[in-house]
Amino acid sequence: MKPIKLNIKTFSQNYPIIIGPNVIQNLASILNNNSINFNQCLLVIDEKVPKKKISKIIKSLKKKKISKFIFNSNEKNKNLNIVNKILQILLDKNFSRLDCVIAIGGGITGDVSGFAASLYKRGLKFINIPTTLLAQVDSSVGGKTGVNTKEGKNLIGSFYQPKIVISDTSFLKSLPRREIICGYGEILKHSLILSKNFFNYLNKNYFDILNLKSPFIERAICESCRIKKQVVETDEKEKGRRKILNFGHTFAHAYEATLGYSKKLNHGEAVILGIVTALKLSLEIKLISQKKYNQIINHIIKIKLPSNVKSYFSQKSLNKIISFMVKDKKNITKKINLILIKDIGTTVIDNEYSSLKIKKFLKRELVN
């Protein structure tokens, strides 16, 4: 199928998103057609990306001077140490501001690469080639970069937009089912926060999307990016409307941190759990109707997405979960700031709750 092109227009930078199968084979011409030039580049590569795909990228960039940094991309390695290693290569190779960093991997690879690019000489060209479904539908778009610390997730970072995002759907065929589920969590989130029509499309076509059938997977990626584009273009630095993109994430980030970013719970799985938790709170305070709640929950259960918090946590985890929620970067006061849902396609931002109230709510969830 013909590649899809979306254009993101933010205050700091405009850039295209290219979506389609096997588009990296034409990487050099795509960059040239979008006036992206450089003499040398650093490829920051997730070690799980198939070597054949990397070879195709290198072959397409054969006229450029190429350096590589390959690492084990996981939440524990999403830290300042990895960023420093990237910066050291840029310094050793004497990269200029006209050169670039190219991220080839999932959301973690894009986050550390983009953060390093934002720091080096106060800003280096950054190209993002996301290779996971989660990264293609969410983290590669919008310019958020950063790292984790022992205090919490993404507490150190910057807003730094890429020059281009190239989402080659052929990468997805190498992913395990668990990674596809993780990406679907963010796709579902986008439908819930802004588009009832997209949710209906997912309800009808989830089987083909999860099995990476064309054109269903390309449309799901495109619609997710289109929704995020609408939000980011009006609020690049998350001062207001962009907060809706965090639906489910305050719980999710706390869940991940509580488990020490272990393989027991991947980010996308945590997001789905966070969405379910936010849904239940929305129902408890009578923000969303039982009918709409059932419609969403039935979709999650039908696809067998992770939905039971008790499968991962006990009451012993409560204090730890709350301690991470209190430190969440979206909080302005001492209260916990949550994004809740009123209807499919309608969210409510800046819902502040005391840590005690959230603790009591979570305790009920872990008991019932």
**Percentage of residues of the chain with pLDDT beyond 90:** 93
Options 53, 144, 163, 243, the catalytic residue = 144
Q: So what CATH class is 177-367?
A: mainly alpha
Residue-wise pLDDT tens digits, 234-272:
999 998 899 999 999 999 999 999 999 999 999 999 999
- Note if 249 is an active site residue: yes
Q: Is the Cα torsion angle 173, 177, 182, 185 positive or negative in sign?
A: positive
pTM assigned to the model: 0.95
Mean pLDDT of the chain: 95
Indicate the DSSP class of residue 204: H
Q: State the DSSP H helix or E strand holding residue 325, giving kind and residue range, or none if neither.
A: helix 318-326
Options 26, 128, 154, 246, the catalytic residue = 246
Which contacts qualify for 79-88: CB closer than 8 Å, 24 or more apart?
79/147, 79/148, 79/149, 80/147, 80/149, 80/156, 82/112, 82/147, 83/112, 83/115, 83/116, 83/119, 83/147, 86/42, 86/44, 86/112, 86/113, 86/116, 87/116, 87/119, 87/120
Q: What per-residue confidence (pLDDT) applies to 318?
A: 96
Q: How far apart (Å, rounded) are the C-alpha atoms in residues 341 and 349?
A: 9
- Note if 228 is an active site residue: yes
Strands 14-20 and 4-9: antiparallel
Options 189, 229, 242, 299, the catalytic residue = 242
Residues 6+ apart with CB under 8 A from 314: 366
Residue-wise pLDDT tens digits, 158-211:
999 999 999 999 999 999 999 999 999 999 999 999 999 999 999 999 999 999
How many residues in total does the chain contain?
368
- Note if 229 is an active site residue: no
Q: What per-residue confidence (pLDDT) applies to 175?
A: 96
Structural contact between residues 70 and 45, judged by C-beta atoms closer than 8 angstroms: yes
Residue-wise pLDDT tens digits, 304-362:
999 999 999 999 999 999 999 999 988 888 899 999 999 999 999 988 999 999 999 99
Q: Is the pLDDT of residue 368 over 80?
A: no
What are the domain boundaries of the chain?
Answer: 4-174, 177-367
Q: How far apart (Å, rounded) are the C-alpha atoms in residues 195 and 197?
A: 5
- Note if 246 is an active site residue: yes
Residue 87's alpha-carbon distances to 53, 77, 142, in angstroms, are 25, 15, 22
Q: How far apart (Å, rounded) are the C-alpha atoms in residues 338 and 243?
A: 9
Nearest to 277 by CA among 220, 222, 353: 353
- Note if 299 is an active site residue: no
- Which amino acid is present at 9? K
Options 190, 249, 292, 299, the catalytic residue = 249
Options 56, 253, 280, 292, the catalytic residue = 253
Structural contact between residues 297 and 279, judged by C-beta atoms closer than 8 angstroms: yes
Residue-wise pLDDT tens digits, 212-234:
999 999 999 999 999 999 999 99
Options 78, 228, 280, 292, the catalytic residue = 228
Options 62, 122, 286, 291, the catalytic residue = 122
Indicate the DSSP class of residue 151: T
Options 163, 190, 229, 267, the catalytic residue = 267
Options 218, 238, 269, 365, the catalytic residue = 238
Q: Is the Cα torsion angle 272, 308, 283, 261 positive or negative in sign?
A: negative
- Note if 190 is an active site residue: no
Options 186, 223, 236, 365, the catalytic residue = 186
Q: How far apart (Å, rounded) are the C-alpha atoms in residues 27 and 33?
A: 10
Nearest to 191 by CA among 180, 181, 202: 202
Structural contact between residues 339 and 243, judged by C-beta atoms closer than 8 angstroms: yes
Give the CATH architecture of domain 4-174.
3-Layer(aba) Sandwich (3.40)
- Note if 197 is an active site residue: no
